[in-house]
């Protein structure tokens, strides 16, 4: 059986290859192909160390295949972001383990982001736009939507499940639970929707103001902005002559120069501003409602403790599926993440059920 380290390297090799296949820029595509070969080499080295057959190893996991499917639908920038998160997580875990065991940290534990940049910088005629692709601090819009969907469904399920169990504890699962569950669903979904609208709208307004200021600086002082951009590249380790050449090339197109300056200087990904605040609000409402309706369903058809037990069972299944979906972002074991989510969700519901039971007995007394 393959261990998790080998599978992680295999998945990375597979995903970098997919990134290369779907990348229109030949320079960046070549970088991805080189990274795929590096990861494949790591997997083969790990396999030989553990006396495993290399020929039977190179099969991507369901997580890698799912990420590839998401890339086809929402764009491969999300896949790149997920790969970088995985690399950073592995790096932090290795460094933490070495510190705990008082082992020397040699620098080889660090993320492959630096390797990506090192390969890219050696390419001929590299541009600032190409380099900035690996400097983005944000995921693509599609990636954010997926993450929001999972977390929104989780919030709806956990919060309404806990509410329903509290009411069920106080009323022994009678008719009032259905009303409370629907009220909790509507109130929570509206609250999440409004919060999402405010968050997206305020971020857009802030970033748009900063981008406008940057455009005015570009129009009024292009020479200063070119020097500033060159200094940014020099600070990243680009040779001074190459940095100035890259900055001069970018400044030939004002719109491209503005986009690069916004990303490099302000850390703003313009793609993040294309989403609609209203769409985000509606999306948040729907995902919260989907999660929140799961524990309510049995109370449409039955009452009492039978309804409570079915609600618990349905909610446990929902919690496990959400925990499994979260592994797309974390890379953790599906069973571990799924059962952890079930444990925490059931614990929260048990507490509220117990509190509701105490309140119900107190009121009845």
Buried b or exposed e, range 293-326, using 16+ CB within 10 angstroms: bbbbebbeeebeeebbebbbebbbebbbbbbbbb
Decide if 78 contacts 140 (C-beta within 8 A): yes
The predicted-structure confidence for 280-310, as pLDDT tens digits, reads as follows: 788 889 999 999 999 999 999 888 888 899 9
What is the distance between the alpha carbons of residues 128 and 115, in angstroms, rounded to a whole number? 17
Which pLDDT does position 107 carry in this prediction? Answer: 47
pLDDT in tens, 122-181: 555 555 555 555 554 434 444 555 666 788 889 999 999 999 999 988 887 677 888 999
Most confident of 102-106, 221-225, 258-262, 345-349: 345-349
Written as six digits, the tokens of 137 are 């601090």
Q: In the numeric block, which tokens belong to residue 80?
A: 């790149």
pLDDT digits 0-9 by tens, 179-225: 999 999 999 999 988 988 888 788 777 777 777 776 777 777 778 77
For the chain, give the mean pLDDT: 76
Gap between the Cα atoms of 134 and 137, Å rounded: 9
The neighbour count for residue 11, using CB atoms within 10 Å, is: 24
Q: Please report the pLDDT score of residue 141 as a whole number.
A: 41
Q: Using an 8 Å Cβ cutoff, are 227 and 257 in contact?
A: no
Strands annotated E in 50-170: none
pTM over 0.85? The answer is: no
Long-range contacts of 118-126 (CB under 8 A, 24+ apart): 119/31, 119/34, 119/35, 120/27, 120/28, 120/31, 121/237, 121/238, 123/27, 123/30, 123/31, 125/27, 126/27, 126/242, 126/246
């Amino acid at each position: 059986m393959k261990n998790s380290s080998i599978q992680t390297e295999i998945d990375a090799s597979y995903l970098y290859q997919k990134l290369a296949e779907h990348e229109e820029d030949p320079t960046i595509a070549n970088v991805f192909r080189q990274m795929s070969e590096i990861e494949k080499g790591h997997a083969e080295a790990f396999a030989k160390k553990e006396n495993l057959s290399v020929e039977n190893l190179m099969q991507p996991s369901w997580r890698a295949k799912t990420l590839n499917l998401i890339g086809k639908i929402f764009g491969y920038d999300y896949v790149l972001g997920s790969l970088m998160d995985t690399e950073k997580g592995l790096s932090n875990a290795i460094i933490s383990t070495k510190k705990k065991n008082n082992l020397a940290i040699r620098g080889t534990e660090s993320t492959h982001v630096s390797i990506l940049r090192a390969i890219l910088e050696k390419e001929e005629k590299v541009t600032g736009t190409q380099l900035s692709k690996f400097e983005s601090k944000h995921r693509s819009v599609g990636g954010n939507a997926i993450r929001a969907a999972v977390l929104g469904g989780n919030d709806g399920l956990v919060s309404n499940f806990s509410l329903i169990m509290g009411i069920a504890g106080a009323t022994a699962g009678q008719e009032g639970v259905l009303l409370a569950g629907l009220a909790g669903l509507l109130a929570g979904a509206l609250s999440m929707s409004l919060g999402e609208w405010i968050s997206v709208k305020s971020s857009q307004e802030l970033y748009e103001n900063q981008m406008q200021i940057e455009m005015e600086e570009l129009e009024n002082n292009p020479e200063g902005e070119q020097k500033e951009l060159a200094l940014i590249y020099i600070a990243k380790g680009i040779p001074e002559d190459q940095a100035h050449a890259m900055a001069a090339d970018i400044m030939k197109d004002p719109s491209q120069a503005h986009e690069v300056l916004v990303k490099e200087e302000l850390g703003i990904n313009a793609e993040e501003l294309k989403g609609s605040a209203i769409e985000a609000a509606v999306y948040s409402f729907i995902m919260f409602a989907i999660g929140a309706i799961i524990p309510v369903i049995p109370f449409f058809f039955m009452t009492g403790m039978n309804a409570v037990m079915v609600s618990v069972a349905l909610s446990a299944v929902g919690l496990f599926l959400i925990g499994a979906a979260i592994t797309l972002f974390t890379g953790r074991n599906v069973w571990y993440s799924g059962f952890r989510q079930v444990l925490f969700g059931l614990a929260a519901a048990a507490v509220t059920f117990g509190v509701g039971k105490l309140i119900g007995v107190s009121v009845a007394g």
